[in-house]
Amino acid sequence: MAKGVFTNPFTRRPLLSLVLCFGAGILLQSIWNIPFRWTALGTLGMFGAACLFSYRILMAWVLLMFSFSGLGFLYATVRTVNTDNDISRVARYYYQKPFMVKGQIISDVEQRRFFNRQKKVFTFKIKQVKSPWGWKDRDGRVLVNLYGDLPCGFGDELLLEGKLHRPFEFDKEGHFSYRKYLARKGIQYILSVKRGNQAEILNQQANKSVRFYVIYYRNYLKEILKQYLTVNEAGLLQAILLGDRSQLPNHIRDLFERTGTAHVLAISGLHIGIIVGILLVLVKLLPLTRGLQYGVTIMVIIIYAFLTGGRPSVVRAVVMAVIVLTSLILEKEPDWPSTVSLAAFILLIINPFYLFDIGFQLSFVCVLFIVLFQKQVQQGLITLLPVIKDKKWCEIVIGGMSVSLTAWLGAAGLIMYYFQIVTPIAVLANGLVVPLMTLLVAAGLGLLIMGGIVPFFAVCFAYCLKGILNVMIGIIFLFNKLPGAYFLIKPISGFMVAGFYFVLILGIYSVKVLGKKNFSQL
């Protein structure tokens, strides 16, 4: 290799490459069943070889990337191993039989409607199972569907009787598997407890951990929304502000999905960015140094991440915000691809199976596309519309459109794959919906803060929210009615998605090259 052709890869965002390799290992673990010891020996051997050939940069780097893939494979394998006492090892003996179990609620209790009946849904950590020989110690998790009026909540220890079954596959033609979705959360079975089955509380609020108080306060904030807003309005605000979409009306969800604006219903970088902006304005009113202002903002958004359930998109956005604010304190420019990579790595360490979460994939793909390709897309728009070259306000509009277009292009492949829909109207719809989101989040936070302190101001914020929500839903409804707003397609394969992104990236770089040629001729 000619001298200077290959430079030290550690100087060119090594974290991005290593995280991609780590994720590739997790993906391979879901496809291939390789014995743990052989994978461990191979990973250790490649890492040792990388150290041995450290003087040959290219070879050492390739070996190091393979070793990181092996680490991802091993980590995912370890997280899938069940203990000898896990419920999955004896569950088959309880099919079509009454199943009695003792355990503890380890999640929030969601109220859902099933046809004309109400049910409570929560994750239940098993402690004991009743067998023909008495109560036996067991562990593991099940998802409980409880039909009844038992007033239970997080931390309660319960005795439940019901039917144990495997999760149903609702979408057999699509690419989303509900069974795999639960399995990646450590849940392989569902316990249905119908009315008439035994269900009692053995010990109420037995676990008053930090999570107990987080869920308690989150439910308190939900009650504030229900107090000042209608059922549909409260359900929509619960999704946007608190990350709880269980009460979101289906017809509203469909409107957002068909116009490509469904991302505003999941707390992500947009929401965190708005909140950070509001916080920075407020803390500047306090007699604090610049470092303390940023420090207070960091603490608040971390608390907010816990309050909203710590979903992948929230954690990603908060990690990035913390890194950016820390860089401002240190007066250093953040490297965006490395920042995104660090956020992804933290999430995969928390749970490697976040890699298969649709929200995780959409969140990181959109952000990476904006970071890597937004300038090229903006340059392409300017090339196509050269009349705006000397008009500053037009450049600002094009800048906003380029961000929306880049995010839409980044998400398009995954949306086609999972939801079989194409939403061309999304670029225009987001241009109006995103600015309204700033007002909506600001008014919503005002209502949550004032709801339990000053009812008069809470009412004022509630009326503002109603107006903003009506305008937003009206805009989305009109965009939904436009011809060609969305197209339904047949299911596509993963290879087609990969081909789509390959052609898309190639096209973006082609526009970049053409743009440079055009500007050189002006």
pLDDT > 80? residue 522: no
Rounded CA-CA distance 286/307 in Å is: 24
Position 7 scores a pLDDT of 46
Q: Where are the alpha helices (DSSP H) in 391-454?
A: 392-419, 426-450
Short-list 320, 226, 235, CA closest to 271: 320
Position 517 scores a pLDDT of 55
Neighbour-count burial for 383-399, b at 16+ CB within 10 Å, e otherwise: beeeebeeeeeeeeebe
Strands 199-203 and 187-193: unpaired
**Span 5-43, pLDDT tens digits:** 444 444 467 888 889 999 999 999 988 888 888 889 999
CATH class of 87-208: mainly beta
Q: Contact, 25 vs 69, CB < 8 A?
A: yes
pTM score, whole prediction = 0.82
Q: Contact, 202 vs 158, CB < 8 A?
A: yes
Share of the chain above pLDDT 90, in %: 30
Mean pLDDT of all residues in 416-420: 89
**Span 138-189, pLDDT tens digits:** 999 999 999 988 888 888 999 999 999 888 876 666 677 888 888 888 898 9
Rounded CA-CA distance 251/394 in Å is: 36
Q: For tokens 């409880």, what's the residue?
A: 146
**DSSP H or E segment with residue 126:** strand 117-131
Query: Can you say how many angstroms the Cα of residue 312 is from the centroid of all Cα atoms in its chain?
Result: 4
Q: Contact, 458 vs 228, CB < 8 A?
A: yes
Name every residue whose Cβ is closer than 8 Å to that of residue 115 and which is 6 or more positions away in sequence: none
CA 416 vs CA 263, 355, 360, 491: distances in Å: 15, 18, 16, 8
**Span 427-484, pLDDT tens digits:** 888 888 888 998 999 999 999 989 878 888 899 999 999 999 999 999 999 999 999 8
Kindly list the domain boundaries of the chain, sorted by start residue: 9-80, 87-208
What is the separation, in whole angstroms, between the first and last Cα of the chain?
38
Mean pLDDT, rounded, of the chain: 85
Three-state DSSP class for 282? helix
Strands 141-146 and 187-193: parallel
Position 54 scores a pLDDT of 75
